[in-house]
């Protein structure tokens, strides 16, 4: 199994390439979109010869390495196909646009040796070099470098290695809006997520304020909203990085894999909107948490399993009976078991993940 991680390193970016790439990308998008046909279902009619003709035309005034043009065409086709899929599901709003000035650098465009990356900008003439050994946060234990993304101020590198994840034992996690419960090495642990909740609240209030402004100053408010959502995301990311790094450290010592709830199974069917909002936030947090925990664990050769969480906080872990609310956070089963609501979820996830007992009561 391939484990993947990505990192950012600062570089002196070739501004001319980034600009030209951006222009070409917009041009290609216009061309490819004109080949989307809307008979019955939307689909792309863009034949190989048309593609070749476009490529030749673009290469006319192109002084940079040719592979960049191929990468533009590929990524735009991918973008449009993704949009078509959404469109056919009735989920696409606006047509796709190219807004970010990023350059995808295929593996044919760079070499990697002794910690140094050498990226071809103009064939046999101009290169961009990055010495990865200078950056302490880039791990040394990878096997190869995947694709690179060049932005106006940094290079995003993806590193890969092959792992065969194996666990001695399993830990399970259950995340709510303000706390997370874990069962690690037979021990119940709670992690306080109030800081995280607070971050969301702060930005929610800011957003509400800006929305009032949007009637009078739509441009300004749009910019502000973007800025704040960016900051909110960064703060959440920061928090999650710290949390997952700490957990991974503990799991590595135990040789423990992680059992997580499969988030695809959760449906939003809550009526009132503040509750729905909280659900969304909770799901967003859980996604981020799982994503980070998973790639960090995999990198260290520890596996992750996803379990359908349906009824995980309502099923008796002893007899598979149906738990009912008791006092406070407690739940009770007809077999006599009384157990904390959060604890029962991680217990069940752990058992189901390990393959014991039926998944839920009929």
Binding site for Zn ion (CB under 5 A): 316, 318-319, 321, 333, 335, 337
Q: How far is CA 211 from the centre of its chain?
A: 27
Residue corresponding to tokens 């997370």: 180
Q: Residue 333 CB, nearest distance to Zn ion (Å)?
A: 3
Q: Residue 314 CB, nearest distance to Zn ion (Å)?
A: 11
If the CB atoms of residues 278 and 357 are measured against Zn ion, the closer one turns out to be 357
If the CB atoms of residues 330 and 337 are measured against Zn ion, the closer one turns out to be 337
If the CB atoms of residues 169 and 320 are measured against Zn ion, the closer one turns out to be 320
If the CB atoms of residues 337 and 354 are measured against Zn ion, the closer one turns out to be 337
Q: Residue 167 CB, nearest distance to Zn ion (Å)?
A: 28
The answer to whether the CB of 61 falls within 8 A of the CB of 24 is no
The number of beta carbons lying within 10 Å of the beta carbon of residue 351 is 20
Q: Residue 182 CB, nearest distance to Zn ion (Å)?
A: 23
The DSSP annotation for 76-144 comes to HHHHHHHHHHHHHTT---SPP------EEE-GGGEEEETTEEEEEEETTTEEEEEEGGG-TTS-S--SE
The number of beta carbons lying within 10 Å of the beta carbon of residue 186 is 8
Q: Residue 159 CB, nearest distance to Zn ion (Å)?
A: 48
The answer to whether the CB of 262 falls within 8 A of the CB of 124 is no
Strand, coil or helix: 219: helix
If the CB atoms of residues 284 and 356 are measured against Zn ion, the closer one turns out to be 356
Residue corresponding to tokens 């008796």: 316
């Amino acid at each position: 199994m391939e484990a993947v991680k990505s990192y950012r390193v600062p570089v002196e970016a070739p501004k001319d390439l980034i600009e030209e790439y951006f222009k070409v990308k917009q041009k290609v998008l216009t061309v490819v979109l004109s080949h989307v046909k809307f008979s019955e279902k939307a689909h792309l009619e863009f034949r190989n010869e048309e593609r070749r003709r476009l490529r030749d035309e673009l290469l006319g005034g192109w002084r940079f390495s040719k592979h960049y043009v191929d990468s533009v065409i590929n990524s735009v086709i991918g973008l449009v196909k993704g949009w078509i899929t959404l469109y056919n599901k009735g989920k696409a709003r606006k047509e796709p646009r190219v807004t970010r000035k990023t350059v995808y650098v295929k593996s044919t465009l760079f070499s990697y040796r002794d910690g140094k990356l050498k990226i071809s900008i103009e064939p046999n003439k101009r290169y961009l070099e990055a010495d990865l050994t200078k950056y302490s946060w880039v791990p040394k234990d990878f096997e190869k470098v995947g694709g690179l993304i060049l932005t106006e101020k940094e290079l995003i590198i993806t590193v890969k290695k092959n792992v065969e994840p194996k666990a001695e034992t399993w830990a399970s996690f259950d995340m709510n809006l303000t706390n997370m419960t874990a069962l690690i090495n037979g021990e119940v642990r709670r992690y306080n997520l109030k800081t995280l909740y607070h971050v969301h609240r702060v930005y929610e209030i800011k957003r509400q304020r800006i929305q009032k402004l949007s009637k009078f100053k739509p441009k300004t408010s749009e910019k502000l909203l973007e800025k704040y959502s960016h900051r909110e995301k960064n703060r959440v990311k920061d928090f999650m990085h710290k949390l997952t790094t700490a957990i991974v450290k503990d799991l590595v010592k135990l040789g423990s894999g992680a059992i997580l709830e499969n988030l695809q199974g959760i449906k939003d069917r809550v009526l009132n909107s503040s509750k729905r909002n909280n659900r969304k936030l909770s799901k967003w947090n859980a996604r981020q948490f799982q994503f980070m925990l998973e790639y960090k664990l995999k990198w260290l050769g520890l596996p992750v399993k996803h379990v359908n969480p349906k009824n995980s906080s309502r099923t008796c872990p002893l007899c598979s009976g149906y738990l009912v609310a008791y006092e406070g956070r407690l739940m009770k089963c007809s077999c006599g078991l009384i157990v904390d609501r959060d604890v029962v979820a991680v217990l069940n996830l752990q058992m189901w993940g390990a393959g014991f007992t039926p998944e839920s009561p009929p």
